[in-house]
Amino acid sequence: MSSPPSHPSVERYGKVAVVAGASEGLGAAFATALALRGHDLVLLARRAAVLDALAAQLRSTTPEVDVRCVACDLADGAFVSAMHDGIAGREVGIGVYNAAFSAIGPLLDRPLEDALRVIDVNVKGPVRFVHALGPEMRRRKRGGLVLMSSLAGFHGSPRIATYAASKAFNIVLGESLWAELRGEGVDVLVSGAGAIRTPGYTKTNKPDAPGTLDPSQVAERTLGALGHGPLVVPGAVNKLATFFLGRVISRAGAVAIMQKNTADLDA
């Protein structure tokens, strides 16, 4: 009896998918979406217990999928070695760097260490990630890399200055990699997400911002866009906001709007 056909994602990219920042929220949504596509998973995050709970859930709902957890701090470059141990020499088809750290409040009111951790997780982390996975994908002439950015990365965003700057870095990094690797069989995509109903977001008890999406919607729309260009902005409202802030009003006006939107963020 022949085995059922593989999902097109597995056929195109390869069996194993790595998700960095996978414990809950959007990371868990990426893991779930990839498991439903038939990808074996290597999940990276700091909190081992939360990772293990997600892995148990995925093994229950998609028992045919192999799930491996790697508890590591993505601010520490040693995570690359731990990730390779979890991969165990297998071919990685898709890598998703979802991890992010945000320091909320005026930049000069926060300890310097907070800003440097943003750089370690949000800037150094994705560079290390793509440098660890990309060369082998290029050698095989197939693979996909996804970097999560944010609408905050398109404009200055007071009170989350280092976070916004790090997300701008990821936009430029991903678009550049897309151009460098598009002829090498490797798809690269940056996802500029707006507000997402993650556990942290829902704990604020604030009404949804315009364009707020569930994590599963962002994960599905992002993975669906892989291979179709360098950048995706999930959600029609968020696409419209990006166009308005980037094309219709002045740069100073866009920053002023972002300032209003970030004024009530909890530190």
Instruction: Annotate 143-205 with DSSP letters as a single string.
Output: EEEEEEEEGGGGS--TTSHHHHHHHHHHHHHHHHHHHHHGGGTEEEEEEEE--B--HHHHTT-
Domain ranges of the chain: 11-262
What tens digit of pLDDT does each residue of 21-53 get? 998 999 999 999 999 999 999 999 999 999 999
Handedness of CA 53, 28, 210, 155 (dihedral sign): positive
Q: Is residue 143 a contact partner of residue 137, using CB atoms and an 8 Å limit?
A: yes
Please say if 97 is a catalytic residue. Answer: no
Q: How wide is the angle at C-alpha 78 spanned by C-alphas 72 and 83, nearest 5°? A: 60
What tens digit of pLDDT does each residue of 107-159 get? 999 999 999 999 999 999 999 999 999 999 999 999 999 999 999 999 999 99
Q: Is residue 203 a contact partner of residue 160, using CB atoms and an 8 Å limit?
A: no
Nearest to 263 by CA among 115, 118, 103, 104: 104
Q: What pTM was estimated for this model as a whole?
A: 0.94
The strand pairing partners of 193, in sequence order, are 150
Name the average pLDDT for the chain.
Answer: 94
Structure tokens at 87: 């991969």
Q: Is residue 209 a contact partner of residue 261, using CB atoms and an 8 Å limit?
A: yes
Q: Which of 97, 167, 239, 260 is catalytic?
A: 167
pLDDT classification of 255: cutoffs 50, 70, 90: very high
What tens digit of pLDDT does each residue of 86-104 get? 999 999 999 999 999 999 9
- What CATH superfamily classification does 11-262 receive? NAD(P)-binding Rossmann-like Domain (3.40.50.720)
Please say if 201 is a catalytic residue. Answer: no
In DSSP notation, 200-262 reads: HHHTT-PPPPTT-B-HHHHHHHHHHHTTS-SEE--SHHHHHHHHIIIIIS-HHHHHHHHHHHH
Q: Which of 13, 124, 163, 203 is catalytic?
A: 163
- 239 Cβ neighbours under 8 A, 6+ residues apart: 233
Handedness of CA 44, 47, 53, 57 (dihedral sign): negative
Instruction: Say whether pLDDT at 263 is over 90.
Output: no
pLDDT classification of 1: cutoffs 50, 70, 90: very low
- CA dist 232 and 178 (Å) reads 13
- CA dist 182 and 184 (Å) reads 5
Handedness of CA 71, 74, 80, 81 (dihedral sign): negative
